[in-house]
Amino acid sequence: MLSYAIKRVLGAIPTIFIIITLAFFMMRLAPGGPFDSQRALPPEIEHNIEKAYNLDKPLYVQYGLYLERLAHFDLGPSFKNRDFTVNELLAEGVPVSAKLGLSAMVLAIFFGVLLGVLAALYQNRAADYGVMTIAMIGITIPTFVTAPILTMIFGVYGLNLFGYDVTLPVAGWNNGAFQNMILPVFVLALPQIAIVARLVRGNMVEVLHSNYVRTARAKGLPGHMVVIRHALRAGLLPLVSYLGPAIAALLTGSLIVETIFGLPGIGRYFVNGALNRDYTLVLGVVIVYAVLIVVLNLIADLLYAVLDPRVRYD
Protein backbone atom coordinates (compact mmCIF):
# COMPACT_ATOMS: atom_id res chain seq x y z
CA MET A 1 0.00 0.00 0.00
CA LEU A 2 2.70 2.46 1.06
CA SER A 3 4.83 1.67 -1.95
CA TYR A 4 1.81 2.15 -4.19
CA ALA A 5 1.13 5.51 -2.56
CA ILE A 6 4.73 6.63 -3.01
CA LYS A 7 4.68 5.48 -6.61
CA ARG A 8 1.52 7.45 -7.32
CA VAL A 9 2.79 10.60 -5.62
CA LEU A 10 6.05 10.39 -7.57
CA GLY A 11 4.03 9.89 -10.75
CA ALA A 12 2.00 13.02 -10.11
CA ILE A 13 5.00 15.32 -9.86
CA PRO A 14 6.14 15.03 -13.51
CA THR A 15 2.55 15.49 -14.62
CA ILE A 16 2.27 18.79 -12.78
CA PHE A 17 5.66 19.81 -14.11
CA ILE A 18 4.62 19.03 -17.69
CA ILE A 19 1.45 21.06 -17.25
CA ILE A 20 3.36 24.09 -15.98
CA THR A 21 5.93 23.85 -18.76
CA LEU A 22 3.36 23.38 -21.52
CA ALA A 23 1.20 26.21 -20.25
CA PHE A 24 4.15 28.57 -19.89
CA PHE A 25 5.56 28.04 -23.37
CA MET A 26 2.13 28.04 -25.00
CA MET A 27 1.42 31.44 -23.48
CA ARG A 28 4.72 32.77 -24.82
CA LEU A 29 4.03 31.49 -28.32
CA ALA A 30 1.39 34.17 -28.57
CA PRO A 31 2.16 36.85 -31.13
CA GLY A 32 2.36 40.28 -29.51
CA GLY A 33 3.00 41.12 -25.90
CA PRO A 34 0.56 41.87 -23.15
CA PHE A 35 1.01 45.63 -23.53
CA ASP A 36 0.43 45.87 -27.26
CA SER A 37 -3.17 46.98 -27.14
CA GLN A 38 -2.41 50.18 -25.25
CA ARG A 39 -1.46 53.47 -26.83
CA ALA A 40 2.03 53.60 -28.19
CA LEU A 41 4.61 54.30 -25.50
CA PRO A 42 8.02 55.87 -25.98
CA PRO A 43 10.52 53.08 -26.58
CA GLU A 44 12.49 53.71 -23.39
CA ILE A 45 9.35 53.44 -21.22
CA GLU A 46 8.31 50.31 -23.05
CA HIS A 47 11.75 48.90 -22.45
CA ASN A 48 11.47 49.69 -18.76
CA ILE A 49 8.10 48.00 -18.49
CA GLU A 50 9.46 44.94 -20.25
CA LYS A 51 12.39 44.97 -17.91
CA ALA A 52 10.12 45.19 -14.89
CA TYR A 53 8.26 42.10 -16.06
CA ASN A 54 11.48 40.35 -17.19
CA LEU A 55 10.15 40.22 -20.73
CA ASP A 56 13.47 41.42 -22.16
CA LYS A 57 15.34 38.31 -21.09
CA PRO A 58 15.61 35.15 -23.21
CA LEU A 59 12.68 32.75 -22.93
CA TYR A 60 14.49 30.03 -21.00
CA VAL A 61 15.65 32.59 -18.42
CA GLN A 62 12.06 33.80 -18.03
CA TYR A 63 10.97 30.19 -17.60
CA GLY A 64 13.61 29.65 -14.93
CA LEU A 65 12.55 32.84 -13.13
CA TYR A 66 8.91 31.77 -13.28
CA LEU A 67 9.71 28.36 -11.80
CA GLU A 68 11.80 29.98 -9.09
CA ARG A 69 8.91 32.22 -8.14
CA LEU A 70 6.49 29.33 -8.33
CA ALA A 71 8.60 27.42 -5.84
CA HIS A 72 7.78 30.25 -3.41
CA PHE A 73 4.10 29.97 -4.40
CA ASP A 74 4.37 33.33 -6.13
CA LEU A 75 2.44 33.47 -9.40
CA GLY A 76 3.74 36.91 -10.31
CA PRO A 77 1.99 40.21 -11.02
CA SER A 78 -1.15 40.34 -13.14
CA PHE A 79 -0.47 41.93 -16.54
CA LYS A 80 -3.85 43.58 -16.87
CA ASN A 81 -5.07 44.17 -13.31
CA ARG A 82 -2.13 46.45 -12.64
CA ASP A 83 -2.25 46.85 -8.89
CA PHE A 84 -2.82 43.21 -8.13
CA THR A 85 -0.64 40.15 -8.07
CA VAL A 86 -2.11 36.91 -9.39
CA ASN A 87 -1.92 35.57 -5.85
CA GLU A 88 -4.14 38.37 -4.57
CA LEU A 89 -6.68 37.81 -7.34
CA LEU A 90 -6.73 34.08 -6.68
CA ALA A 91 -7.05 34.65 -2.93
CA GLU A 92 -10.22 36.60 -3.67
CA GLY A 93 -11.59 34.11 -6.17
CA VAL A 94 -10.72 30.74 -4.65
CA PRO A 95 -13.12 30.91 -1.66
CA VAL A 96 -16.03 31.71 -3.97
CA SER A 97 -15.19 28.90 -6.38
CA ALA A 98 -14.50 26.48 -3.56
CA LYS A 99 -17.81 27.18 -1.86
CA LEU A 100 -19.60 26.80 -5.18
CA GLY A 101 -17.80 23.61 -6.13
CA LEU A 102 -18.07 21.94 -2.74
CA SER A 103 -21.79 22.71 -2.45
CA ALA A 104 -22.35 21.31 -5.93
CA MET A 105 -20.34 18.21 -5.05
CA VAL A 106 -22.35 17.58 -1.88
CA LEU A 107 -25.59 18.12 -3.75
CA ALA A 108 -24.48 15.83 -6.58
CA ILE A 109 -23.49 13.00 -4.27
CA PHE A 110 -26.58 13.29 -2.08
CA PHE A 111 -29.17 13.42 -4.87
CA GLY A 112 -27.19 11.18 -7.19
CA VAL A 113 -26.94 8.41 -4.61
CA LEU A 114 -30.57 8.83 -3.56
CA LEU A 115 -31.89 8.66 -7.12
CA GLY A 116 -29.51 5.88 -8.13
CA VAL A 117 -30.45 3.66 -5.18
CA LEU A 118 -34.15 4.32 -5.78
CA ALA A 119 -33.82 3.38 -9.44
CA ALA A 120 -31.96 0.19 -8.55
CA LEU A 121 -34.50 -0.85 -5.93
CA TYR A 122 -37.36 -0.31 -8.37
CA GLN A 123 -35.47 -1.69 -11.36
CA ASN A 124 -37.47 -1.71 -14.61
CA ARG A 125 -40.40 0.04 -13.02
CA ALA A 126 -41.76 3.55 -13.41
CA ALA A 127 -39.43 5.07 -10.81
CA ASP A 128 -36.42 3.54 -12.55
CA TYR A 129 -37.41 4.81 -15.98
CA GLY A 130 -38.19 8.24 -14.54
CA VAL A 131 -34.80 8.56 -12.87
CA MET A 132 -32.95 7.29 -15.93
CA THR A 133 -34.78 9.74 -18.21
CA ILE A 134 -33.85 12.63 -15.93
CA ALA A 135 -30.28 11.33 -15.87
CA MET A 136 -30.17 11.18 -19.67
CA ILE A 137 -31.36 14.79 -19.86
CA GLY A 138 -28.86 15.88 -17.21
CA ILE A 139 -25.97 14.23 -19.04
CA THR A 140 -26.85 15.36 -22.55
CA ILE A 141 -27.90 18.97 -22.06
CA PRO A 142 -24.89 21.15 -21.32
CA THR A 143 -24.57 23.60 -18.45
CA PHE A 144 -24.65 26.62 -20.72
CA VAL A 145 -28.14 25.60 -21.89
CA THR A 146 -29.58 24.63 -18.51
CA ALA A 147 -28.23 27.75 -16.80
CA PRO A 148 -30.01 30.35 -18.95
CA ILE A 149 -33.20 28.29 -19.17
CA LEU A 150 -33.45 27.77 -15.42
CA THR A 151 -32.60 31.43 -14.91
CA MET A 152 -35.42 32.33 -17.25
CA ILE A 153 -37.90 30.13 -15.39
CA PHE A 154 -36.92 30.86 -11.80
CA GLY A 155 -35.33 34.26 -12.09
CA VAL A 156 -36.90 36.28 -14.87
CA TYR A 157 -40.49 35.03 -14.86
CA GLY A 158 -40.41 33.93 -11.24
CA LEU A 159 -42.53 31.25 -9.73
CA ASN A 160 -45.48 31.44 -7.40
CA LEU A 161 -45.48 28.35 -5.22
CA PHE A 162 -48.38 28.04 -2.78
CA GLY A 163 -48.75 31.79 -2.61
CA TYR A 164 -45.05 32.38 -1.98
CA ASP A 165 -43.03 34.27 -4.50
CA VAL A 166 -39.91 32.19 -5.08
CA THR A 167 -38.18 34.34 -7.64
CA LEU A 168 -34.44 33.76 -7.33
CA PRO A 169 -31.69 36.27 -7.97
CA VAL A 170 -30.24 35.69 -11.42
CA ALA A 171 -26.76 37.05 -10.85
CA GLY A 172 -24.27 38.24 -8.30
CA TRP A 173 -22.64 36.64 -5.32
CA ASN A 174 -23.95 38.77 -2.44
CA ASN A 175 -21.28 37.28 -0.15
CA GLY A 176 -22.56 33.78 -0.76
CA ALA A 177 -26.13 34.37 0.40
CA PHE A 178 -28.26 31.24 0.23
CA GLN A 179 -30.69 32.43 -2.43
CA ASN A 180 -27.80 33.57 -4.64
CA MET A 181 -26.25 30.12 -4.37
CA ILE A 182 -29.31 28.05 -5.30
CA LEU A 183 -29.32 28.47 -9.08
CA PRO A 184 -25.56 28.31 -9.74
CA VAL A 185 -25.01 25.34 -7.45
CA PHE A 186 -27.94 23.44 -8.87
CA VAL A 187 -26.90 24.13 -12.47
CA LEU A 188 -23.35 23.05 -11.69
CA ALA A 189 -24.49 19.92 -9.87
CA LEU A 190 -27.11 18.77 -12.38
CA PRO A 191 -24.84 16.85 -14.80
CA GLN A 192 -23.00 15.32 -11.85
CA ILE A 193 -26.28 14.26 -10.20
CA ALA A 194 -27.15 12.52 -13.45
CA ILE A 195 -23.80 10.77 -13.81
CA VAL A 196 -23.68 9.71 -10.14
CA ALA A 197 -27.27 8.40 -10.32
CA ARG A 198 -26.41 6.28 -13.38
CA LEU A 199 -23.25 4.96 -11.81
CA VAL A 200 -24.90 4.11 -8.48
CA ARG A 201 -27.86 2.46 -10.20
CA GLY A 202 -25.56 0.22 -12.24
CA ASN A 203 -23.52 -0.83 -9.23
CA MET A 204 -26.51 -1.31 -6.97
CA VAL A 205 -28.35 -3.50 -9.48
CA GLU A 206 -25.31 -5.75 -9.63
CA VAL A 207 -24.85 -5.82 -5.87
CA LEU A 208 -28.53 -6.49 -5.16
CA HIS A 209 -28.30 -9.64 -7.25
CA SER A 210 -25.19 -10.91 -5.50
CA ASN A 211 -25.08 -13.95 -3.28
CA TYR A 212 -24.30 -12.23 0.00
CA VAL A 213 -27.30 -9.93 -0.34
CA ARG A 214 -29.45 -12.99 -1.00
CA THR A 215 -27.96 -14.60 2.11
CA ALA A 216 -28.76 -11.50 4.18
CA ARG A 217 -32.34 -11.62 2.93
CA ALA A 218 -32.54 -15.38 3.55
CA LYS A 219 -31.51 -15.05 7.16
CA GLY A 220 -34.46 -12.74 7.67
CA LEU A 221 -32.92 -9.27 7.77
CA PRO A 222 -35.53 -6.60 6.99
CA GLY A 223 -35.33 -5.12 3.48
CA HIS A 224 -34.09 -1.66 4.44
CA MET A 225 -31.40 -3.15 6.69
CA VAL A 226 -30.15 -5.30 3.82
CA VAL A 227 -29.83 -2.22 1.65
CA ILE A 228 -28.24 0.02 4.28
CA ARG A 229 -25.94 -2.47 5.98
CA HIS A 230 -24.90 -4.66 3.09
CA ALA A 231 -25.74 -3.42 -0.40
CA LEU A 232 -24.88 0.28 -0.02
CA ARG A 233 -21.30 -0.31 1.08
CA ALA A 234 -20.35 -2.27 -1.97
CA GLY A 235 -22.65 -0.32 -4.24
CA LEU A 236 -21.17 3.07 -3.40
CA LEU A 237 -17.52 2.04 -3.51
CA PRO A 238 -16.99 2.66 -7.25
CA LEU A 239 -18.22 6.20 -6.66
CA VAL A 240 -14.89 7.01 -5.02
CA SER A 241 -12.99 6.51 -8.25
CA TYR A 242 -15.43 8.81 -10.02
CA LEU A 243 -14.54 11.68 -7.67
CA GLY A 244 -11.45 12.60 -9.70
CA PRO A 245 -13.23 13.08 -13.04
CA ALA A 246 -16.10 14.76 -11.18
CA ILE A 247 -13.75 17.42 -9.80
CA ALA A 248 -12.41 18.09 -13.29
CA ALA A 249 -15.94 18.36 -14.67
CA LEU A 250 -16.99 20.71 -11.86
CA LEU A 251 -14.00 22.98 -12.52
CA THR A 252 -14.79 23.14 -16.23
CA GLY A 253 -18.45 23.74 -15.46
CA SER A 254 -17.58 26.51 -13.04
CA LEU A 255 -16.12 28.51 -15.96
CA ILE A 256 -19.60 28.63 -17.48
CA VAL A 257 -21.55 29.02 -14.26
CA GLU A 258 -19.38 31.80 -12.90
CA THR A 259 -19.55 33.65 -16.22
CA ILE A 260 -23.33 33.33 -16.56
CA PHE A 261 -24.19 34.21 -12.99
CA GLY A 262 -21.49 36.83 -12.64
CA LEU A 263 -19.81 35.19 -9.67
CA PRO A 264 -16.35 36.49 -8.68
CA GLY A 265 -14.61 33.09 -8.70
CA ILE A 266 -11.40 31.98 -10.42
CA GLY A 267 -13.36 30.53 -13.34
CA ARG A 268 -14.44 34.00 -14.37
CA TYR A 269 -10.91 35.31 -13.86
CA PHE A 270 -9.72 32.64 -16.22
CA VAL A 271 -12.24 33.48 -18.94
CA ASN A 272 -11.68 37.23 -18.61
CA GLY A 273 -7.94 36.74 -18.43
CA ALA A 274 -8.05 34.65 -21.59
CA LEU A 275 -10.14 37.26 -23.41
CA ASN A 276 -7.85 40.12 -22.24
CA ARG A 277 -4.64 38.16 -22.76
CA ASP A 278 -3.63 38.53 -19.15
CA TYR A 279 -0.95 35.85 -19.48
CA THR A 280 0.20 35.57 -15.90
CA LEU A 281 -3.35 35.35 -14.61
CA VAL A 282 -4.34 32.64 -17.11
CA LEU A 283 -1.16 30.74 -16.37
CA GLY A 284 -1.81 31.02 -12.64
CA VAL A 285 -5.36 29.75 -12.89
CA VAL A 286 -4.35 26.84 -15.16
CA ILE A 287 -1.67 25.83 -12.69
CA VAL A 288 -4.09 26.00 -9.76
CA TYR A 289 -6.67 23.98 -11.68
CA ALA A 290 -4.14 21.42 -12.85
CA VAL A 291 -2.65 20.90 -9.42
CA LEU A 292 -6.15 20.57 -7.95
CA ILE A 293 -7.16 17.97 -10.51
CA VAL A 294 -3.97 15.95 -10.19
CA VAL A 295 -3.93 16.04 -6.39
CA LEU A 296 -7.62 15.23 -5.99
CA ASN A 297 -7.33 12.39 -8.49
CA LEU A 298 -4.44 11.08 -6.47
CA ILE A 299 -6.43 11.28 -3.23
CA ALA A 300 -9.40 9.53 -4.85
CA ASP A 301 -7.18 6.70 -6.09
CA LEU A 302 -5.49 6.27 -2.72
CA LEU A 303 -8.84 6.37 -0.92
CA TYR A 304 -10.12 3.68 -3.24
CA ALA A 305 -7.13 1.50 -2.50
CA VAL A 306 -7.73 1.92 1.24
CA LEU A 307 -11.47 1.31 1.07
CA ASP A 308 -11.59 -1.68 -1.24
CA PRO A 309 -9.94 -4.69 0.38
CA ARG A 310 -9.86 -6.50 -2.96
CA VAL A 311 -7.56 -3.89 -4.47
CA ARG A 312 -3.94 -4.49 -3.58
CA TYR A 313 -1.39 -2.56 -5.53
CA ASP A 314 1.90 -3.72 -4.04
Partner 1 sequence: MIATGSTANTQAMIEAQTVRGRSLWVDARRRLFQNKAALASIVILTVIALMAIFAPALSQYPFDAIDYSVVSCAPNWWPDPDVLCHAGGTHWFGTDPVGRDLFVRTLYGARVSLAVGLVATFVSLVIGVIYGATAGFIGGTTDNLMMRVVDVLYSLPFIFFVIILMVIFNRNFILLFVAIGAVEWLTMARIVRGQTLSIKQKEFIEAAHAAGVSRFGIITRHIIPNVIGPVIIYVTLTIPSVILAESFLSFLGLGIREPLTSWGVLISEGANQMVTAPWMLIFPALFMAVTLFCFNFIGDGLRDALDPKDR
Q: Give the distance, in angstroms, between the CA of residue 14 and the centroid of all CA atoms in the same chain.
A: 22
What residues does 164 pair with on adjacent strands?
161
Q: Which residues form the interface with partner 1 (CB under 8 A)?
A: 14-15, 18-19, 22-23, 26-27, 29-31, 136, 139-142, 144-145, 147-149, 151-152, 156, 248, 251-252, 255-256, 259-260, 270-271, 274-275, 277, 282, 285-286, 289-290, 293-294, 297
For residue 164, the surrounding DSSP H or E stretch is strand 164-165
CB of 165 to partner 1, least distance (A): 18
Count Cβ atoms within 10 A of the Cβ of residue 310 and give its class: 0-12 exposed, 13-18 middle, 19 or more buried. Answer: exposed
Say if CB 137 and CB 150 are below 8 A apart.
Answer: no
Q: Tell which residue, 23, 100, 2, has the closest CA to residue 290.
A: 23
Type of residue at 226: V
Type of residue at 260: I
Q: Tell which residue, 262, 285, 99, 91, has the closest CA to residue 185.
A: 99
User: Rounded to whole angstroms, what are the CA distances from 85 to 60, 154, 281, 290?
Assistant: 22, 38, 9, 20
CB of 256 to partner 1, least distance (A): 7
For residue 165, the surrounding DSSP H or E stretch is strand 164-165
Q: Which is nearer to partner 1, 226 or 267 (CB)?
A: 267
Determine the straight-line distance between the first and last CA of the chain, rounded to whole angstroms: 6
